[in-house]
Amino acid sequence: MIKFYNSLTRQKEDVPCHENKTVKMYSCGPTVYYYPHIGNFRAYLFMDNIRRVLKYNGYHLDGVMNITDVGHLTSDADEGEDKMLVASEREHKTPWEIAKFYTDIFMKDARALNIDLPEHIVPATSVIDEMIKFVQALLDKGFAYETSKGIYFDISKDAEYGKLSGMDIREKLAGARIDVDEEKHTPYDFVLWVKAPKEHIMQWESPWGMGYPGWHIECSVIGDKFLGETIDIHTGGVDHKPVHHENEIAQSDSRYGHQVVKMWMHLEFLQVDGGKMSKSLNNIYRLADLEERGYSAEDFRFFYFLAHYSKQQNFTFDSLDMAKNTLKGLKNLAKEHKNGAARVDTKPFEDEFLESINDDLNMPKAIACTLKMLKEERSKNVYDTLLKFNQVLGLNLDEDEQSIPQEVKALAEKRWQAKQNRDFATADALRAQILDLGFVVKDTKDGYEILKK
Ligand code: AMP
Ligand code: ZN
């Protein structure tokens, strides 16, 4: 039985799911205004980790990640300029060019890290109409109001506001010393839609004149559009908890009158030399920086496994060296086991591995168990068990296994979803697409398998 820590209830809980063991999962995605750093990728390795562990346990994933290409201001709390416009001025490109450039880099790095990407990756600018409808619904229900600057969410209408981070908003209000916008009902009301000045580059028509969305609304809207009114798991970094995720909960739960997200999972930060990774401290590393120094993306992937996601992980080149060497050792042992003649009982290792990953993703313990197993006498069945574990680890251990491209896996998963929804025409079209790529999907008792044509 899997137990994950739910930040909302502050306890480990069974994983919620929909019919046919499908987990609907939402992950806050990147703001594509600058190069993603390895701290950001800790957040997406965390997403990958959850997805793979669920699949290992026979679940199916219906996952969504947004791409923030509008509306994220330089301060998370509705102040400053839109990060996309700052980048656009800095680089003398349009915001659309900026978004494309950094989205491409993000996707390239994510693939290099072998991140199991969600089924839907959705830019905020592709759902402007849906955002407008969502904001209108909040206005209609009395949860929002209009000022000369935009449409705001009225947090006083939401009795539960602040429940995720446990902050008492009334206490916070009593001591509030933030800039007061006279038109706002309470200082912490946040913007849903901003009325744009004429010179603002990114703006769209709306019932409230030309404007652009606030940052938080995109996640509520994309979650709603692709996953519906009930989402099983929502992931993000701890920095999102006090503002972005509180606001998402306020928007979604107010619109639907019930709890939309069942389980919230938050990842602690990657630190550098014991401090925060930040541009101003000049200690940001990109994957490309690591590669320049002779480390592979996979070395960093393995590094992720060496600390629990709920603890800060300190990045140093010494610790990355350790990860690199351990991974090298693991791969060498794997090769020896591939041709091993002994017979080892791997059941105790399989049990321990499963118990570890299912105990709120205890990857350090799962890795220790894997390394312990590799110390056994050289045996082909140790190798086979390692390949099984590798469905979670996602390392490049075996050529045959790696030869099923991510694209084919994603198509097969979509086909399975289409079949569950009895949309057989789509399922058949996807099967044909998979066939064109040189693979066959075969239905089995519990799901499906992918074979080479
Ligand atoms: P952003 O592109 O700033 O919206 O951030 C994308 C994701 O990276 C969010 O889930 C953040 O919480 C996460 N994040 C940012 N910095 C770090 C860090 N140093 N360690 C781990 N996650 C981070
Ligand atoms: Zn979000």
Q: Which atom of ligand 1 is nearest to the CA of 28?
A: 10
Label residue 396 by pLDDT band (50, 70, 90): very high
CA dihedral 336, 337, 342, 343 (to 10 degrees): 170
- List pLDDT tens digits, range 75-129: 666 667 778 788 888 888 888 888 899 999 999 999 999 999 999 999 999 999 9
Cα–Cα dist 302/152, whole Å: 43
Residue 173 lies in a domain: yes
CA of 453 to the centre of ligand 1 (A): 40
Of 122, 99, 103, nearest to 201 (Cα)? 99
Lowest mean pLDDT among 358-362, 416-420, 431-435: 416-420
Residue 320 lies in a domain: yes
Residue 93 lies in a domain: yes
CB 235 within 8 A of CB 361: no
Average pLDDT over residues 438-447: 84
pLDDT recorded at residue 229: 97
Segments in 228-316 forming alpha helices (H)? 246-256, 287-292, 297-304
pLDDT recorded at residue 179: 59
- List pLDDT tens digits, range 150-166: 999 999 999 899 999 98
Average pLDDT over residues 326-343: 95
Pocket test for ligand 1, best of 25, 26, 40 (most atoms within 8 A of CB): 40
Residue 400 lies in a domain: no
pLDDT recorded at residue 94: 86
Higher pLDDT, 411 or 321: 321
Q: Domain containing 291: what range?
A: 280-393
Q: Which atom of ligand 1 is nearest to the CA of 276?
A: 19
Name residues contacting ligand 1 (CB within 6 A): 28, 30-31, 39-40, 42-43, 236-237, 239-240, 267, 269-270, 277
At residue 299, does pLDDT exceed 60? yes
Residue 321 lies in a domain: yes
Higher pLDDT, 173 or 325: 325
Average pLDDT over residues 388-408: 82
Average pLDDT over residues 42-46: 98
Given strand 190-195, what is the order of strands in its sheet? Answer: 144-146, 150-153, 190-195, 211-213
Pocket test for ligand 1, best of 222, 239, 286 (most atoms within 8 A of CB): 239
Same domain membership, residue 230 and residue 378: no
pLDDT recorded at residue 421: 85
Same domain membership, residue 446 and residue 352: no
pLDDT recorded at residue 77: 64
Q: Which atom of ligand 1 is nearest to the CA of 32?
A: 2
Same domain membership, residue 183 and residue 150: yes
Q: Which atom of ligand 1 is nearest to the CA of 31?
A: 2
- List pLDDT tens digits, range 1-36: 999 999 999 999 999 999 999 999 999 999 998 899
CB 310 within 8 A of CB 5: yes
Same domain membership, residue 304 and residue 245: no
pLDDT recorded at residue 174: 57
Same domain membership, residue 227 and residue 308: no
Same domain membership, residue 257 and residue 324: no
Task: Map tokens 């798991």 to a residue.
Answer: 233
Same domain membership, residue 350 and residue 300: yes
- List pLDDT tens digits, range 276-292: 787 667 789 999 999 99
CA of 40 to the centre of ligand 1 (A): 4
pLDDT recorded at residue 276: 79
Among residues 267, 298, 317, the one where a domain terminates is 267
When divided into structural domains, the chain yields a total of 3
Same domain membership, residue 178 and residue 145: yes
Cα–Cα dist 300/291, whole Å: 10
pLDDT recorded at residue 8: 97
- Ligand of minimum distance to the alpha carbon of 284: 1
395: which residues sit within 8 A by CB, 6+ positions away? Answer: 114, 298, 301, 302, 327, 330, 331
pLDDT recorded at residue 262: 98
Same domain membership, residue 211 and residue 295: no
Range from 33-42, 159-168, 177-186 that averages highest in pLDDT? 33-42
Mean pLDDT of the chain: 92
pLDDT recorded at residue 273: 80
Residue 109 lies in a domain: yes
At residue 348, does pLDDT exceed 80? yes
Cα–Cα dist 387/370, whole Å: 11
CA of 27 to the centre of ligand 2 (A): 7
